[in-house]
Amino acid sequence: MNVALFDTTLRDGTQMEGLSLSVEDKLKIARLLDGFGIHYVEGGWPASNPKDSEFFRQARNLGLRHAKLTAFGSTRKTKTRAADDANLKALVEAETPAVSIFGKSWLLHVTHVLGTTPEENLAMIADSVAFLKSHKREVIYDAEHFFDGYRADPHYAVATLHAAADAGADWIALCDTNGGSLPSWVKDVVTNVRAELATPLGIHPHNDGELAVANALAAVEAGCTQVQGTINGYGERCGNANLVAIIPALQLKMGHTCVSEEKLAHLTELSRSVSEIANMRPEPHAAYVGQSAFAHKGGVHVSAVEKVAASYEHIPPEQIGNRRHVVVSELAGRGNVRVRAAELGIDTRGDEKMLVARIKELENEGFQFEAAEGSFELLVRRNDPAYVPPFDIQDVVILSERRRGHDTFIEATVKVRVDGEVCHVVAEGDGPVHALDRAMRKALAGRFPSLADVHLTDYKVRILDPERATAARTRVLLEATYGEEQWTTIGVADNVIEASSMALADSVELHLARQREKKG
Q: Are 440 and 505 contacting, i.e. CB atoms less than 8 angstroms apart?
A: yes
Can you give the three-state secondary structure of 60-112, one letter per residue? Answer: CCCCCCCCEEEEEEECCCCCCCHHHCHHHHHHHHCCCCEEEEEEECCHHHHHH
For residue 138, what are the β-bridge partners? 98
Low-confidence ranges of the chain (pLDDT < 50): none
Which CATH number is associated with domain 399-447? 3.30.160
Three-state SS at 119: helix
Predicted local confidence at residue 467, as pLDDT: 65
Angstrom CA distances, 408 to 176, 399, 404, 499, stand at: 59, 10, 10, 22
Name the residue ranges covered by the structural domains of the chain.
4-259, 295-382, 399-447
pTM of this prediction? Answer: 0.75
Provide the CATH number for the domain formed by 4-259 in this structure. 3.20.20.70
pLDDT, tens only, 346-375: 777 787 788 878 877 887 878 877 778 888
Q: What's the pLDDT at 325?
A: 65
Phi, psi of 445 (to 5 degrees): -55, -40
CA 452 to chain centre: 32
Helix H or strand E segment including 481: strand 474-482
In this structure, the number of other CB atoms found within 10 A of the CB of residue 459 comes to 17
Q: Are 114 and 141 in contact (CB under 8 A)?
A: no
Nearest Cα residue to 451 out of 514, 357, 364, 401: 514
> CB under 8 Å to 330, separation ≥6 — which residues?
359, 360, 363, 364
CA distances from residue 154 to 129, 180, 501 in whole angstroms, order as listed: 22, 17, 69
Give Cβ neighbours of residue 404 (< 8 Å, ≥ 6 apart): none
CB crowding 426-451: b at 16 or more within 10 Å, else e: ebebeebbbbbbbbbbbbbeeebeeb
Distance of CA 227 to the CA centre of its chain: 20
Q: Please give the Cα distance from 409 to 431 (Å, whole number).
A: 8
Give me the pLDDT at residue 324, please: 79
Q: Collect contacts of 218-221 with beta carbons under 8 A, ≥24 apart.
A: 218/183, 218/184, 218/186, 218/187, 218/190, 219/174, 219/186, 219/187, 219/190, 220/3, 220/250, 220/254, 220/256, 221/187, 221/254
CA 77/CA 79 separation, integer angstroms: 6
Please tell me whether residue 458 adopts helix, strand or coil conformation. Answer: strand
φ and ψ of 206, to 5 deg: -105, 165
Residue-wise pLDDT for 413-471, tens only, equals 999 999 888 999 999 888 888 899 999 999 998 889 999 999 989 988 888 776 666 55
Which uninterrupted H or E stretch holds 254?
none
Q: What is the spatial distance between Cα 213 and Cα 241, in angstroms, rounded to a whole number? A: 5
Name the nearest CA neighbour of 142 among 92, 74, 244, 46.
74
Q: Between the CA of residue 311 and those of 307, 315, 317, 331, what are the distances in Å? A: 8, 10, 13, 19
β pairing state of 325-326 and 295-296: parallel
Q: For residue 414, give every residue at least 6 positions away whose Cβ sits within 8 Å of its Cβ, in sequence order, or none.
A: 393, 395, 396, 397, 424, 425, 426, 427, 436, 439, 440, 442, 443
Contacts of 227 (CB under 8 A, 6+ apart): 3, 4, 5, 6, 202, 203, 216, 219, 220, 241, 243, 246, 250
CB-count burial class (<10 Å; 0-12, 13-18, 19+) for 116? middle
